[in-house]
Amino acid sequence: MELTTVWFCVVAFLFVGYFVLEGFDFGVGMLLPFLGRDDRERRTMINTISPLWDGNEVWLIVAGASIFAAFPEWYATLFSGFYLPLLLILVALIVRGVAFEYRHQRDDAAWKQRWDAAIIFGSFVPALLWGVAFGNIVRGVEIDADKNYVGTFFDLLNPYALLAGAVTLTLFLTHGANFLALKTRGIIHERARDASLKVGLVAAVLAVGFLLWTCLDHDDVWVWALSGLAALAFVGGLVAAWARRDGWAFVGTMAAIGLAVTALFVALFPDVMPSTLDPAYSLTTENAASTDKTLEIMSWVAVIFLPIVIGYQAWSYWVFRKRISVESIAADVPVEHTPA
């Protein structure tokens, strides 16, 4: 296989990892106002993801840096072209990241509500905009002969991309609900399972519509097959949630997101960013790539270190495997001083 193809696969893998992992912590953040009725319930929800969200976010940083290193032209076109959506995503991720750390630092209801709002905003905006961004990448945007995006911000808000945004939003909500159902006991668990079934139905309809649209645009047997499998996995997850098999429900949404993202990357290949002005201007794995030398060195680094990273991240998930409930959260005492 060409090294450029290998790195296309690595980038796809990193985004699969990012959406599968941060997808559920976005979901938990978005569900905060709906499933957590008081501070202790919200803290229970936040605690299901607090040891993990930061490690999940690094998947994005590494995915971005890998595009920079392996496909600098793609990185340059994408990041300068999608300037305003990325700015919004950055603002969202900044306030969200700070909110997790700062929310518990003061025992003051107004303070906590403000940071809750930051978490909710910071989870909704990227969950929606990542879909919009990927919808546009797959659909193609106005790229000129100099490889620069020449469209406007509003060109990015086309029906296909907006549908993609609605899909990631609802998929992540369902994914987050499944994660909460898996990680909690008691009242939160019940509410999460309910939410998973309700939002899951909406997500299923939107996702099937979006995947069909993608399949018709990119008539390729692999895109059809992966999209079909994604839909099956998602429905399987819903059935599992209904049958109270929390683990399988979560595996279902995980697989569905992973397969759907893979389908998008397969639909994209060998382009990395098609041009709607002239196919000759499209960025491909060839004309956007770094030299083989750079790709080869990075391949060695990735081959050695990705398995190690996956290993210790898996271990951290194992360490925090216990289900928690409202009772796991000490009620009044400032937490880090809790003698219990």
Partner 1 sequence: MEALELARWQFGITTVYHFFFVPITIGLSFLVAGLELAWVRTRNEKWLRLTKFFGKVFLINFAMGIVTGLVQEFQFGMNWSDYSRFVGDIFGAPLAVEGLLAFFLESTFLGLWIFGWDKLSPAVHNACMWIAAIGTALSAYFILAANSFMQNPVGYTFNAERGRAELESFTEVLTNKVVLITLPHTLFGAFMVAGGLMAAVSMWWLIRRKPVDADAFRSTLRLGAVTLLVAGLGTVVTGDIQGKVMTEVQPMKMAAAEALYETKQPAPFSILTVGSLDGDKPFYQLEVPHLLSYLATGTWNGEVQGINNLQAEYEETYGPGNYKPYIPVTYWSFRLMITCGALAMAIGAWMLWVTRKGRVPRSDRRWPIWLAVAATLLPLFANSFGWIFTEMGRQPWIVFGLMRTEAGVSPNVGAGTVLTSLIVFTLLYGALAVVEVKLLLSAIKKGLPDVDPDNETGKQPDDKPMAFAY
Contact call for residue 87 and partner 1 (CB under 8 A): yes
Site string for partner 1, 172-201 (x = CB under 8 A): ------------------------------
Shortest separation between residue 99's beta carbon and partner 1, angstroms: 9
Query: What is the largest distance, in Å, between two alpha-carbon atoms of the chain?
Result: 66
Interface residue with partner 1 among 69, 117, 232, 239 (CB under 8 A) is 69
Per-residue three-class SS string for the chain:
CCHHHHHHHHHHHHHHHHHHHHHHHHHHHHHHHHHCCCHHHHHHHHHHHCCCHHHHHHHHHHHHHHHHHHCHHHHHHHHHHCHHHHHHHHHHHHHHHHHHHHHHHCCCHHHHHHHHHHHHHHHHHHHHHHHHHHHHHHHCECECCCCCECCCCHHHCCHHHHHHHHHHHHHHHHHHHHHHHHHECCHHHHHHHHHHHHHHHHHHHHHHHHHHHHHHHCCCHHHHHHHHHHHHHHHHHHHHHHCCCHHHHHHHHHHHHHHHHHHHHHHHCCEEECECCCHHHCEECCCCCCCHHHHHHHHHHHHHHHHHHHHHHHHHHHHCCCCECHHHCCCCCCHHHCCC
Shortest separation between residue 9's beta carbon and partner 1, angstroms: 15
190/316 with CB nearer partner 1: 316
Shortest separation between residue 244's beta carbon and partner 1, angstroms: 21
If you count them, how many residues does the chain have?
Answer: 340
Site string for partner 1, 304-333 (x = CB under 8 A): -xx--x--xx--x--xx-x-x--xxxx---
Shortest separation between residue 36's beta carbon and partner 1, angstroms: 12
Rule CB under 8 A: which of 217-276 touch partner 1?
Answer: none
Shortest separation between residue 103's beta carbon and partner 1, angstroms: 6
Shortest separation between residue 78's beta carbon and partner 1, angstroms: 7
Contact call for residue 280 and partner 1 (CB under 8 A): no
Rule CB under 8 A: which of 30-49 touch partner 1?
Answer: 43, 46-47
221/339 with CB nearer partner 1: 339
Interface residue with partner 1 among 16, 35, 62, 226 (CB under 8 A) is 62
Interface residue with partner 1 among 5, 9, 58, 208 (CB under 8 A) is 58
C-alpha dist (Å) from residue 106 to 66, 90, 123: 38, 25, 22
Shortest separation between residue 52's beta carbon and partner 1, angstroms: 6
- Binding footprint of partner 1, residue count (CB under 8 A): 79
38/337 with CB nearer partner 1: 337
205/278 with CB nearer partner 1: 278
Contact call for residue 157 and partner 1 (CB under 8 A): no
The residues near 307 (Cβ < 8 Å, ≥ 6 apart) are: none
Site string for partner 1, 88-127 (x = CB under 8 A): --xx-xxx-xx-xxxxxxx---------------------
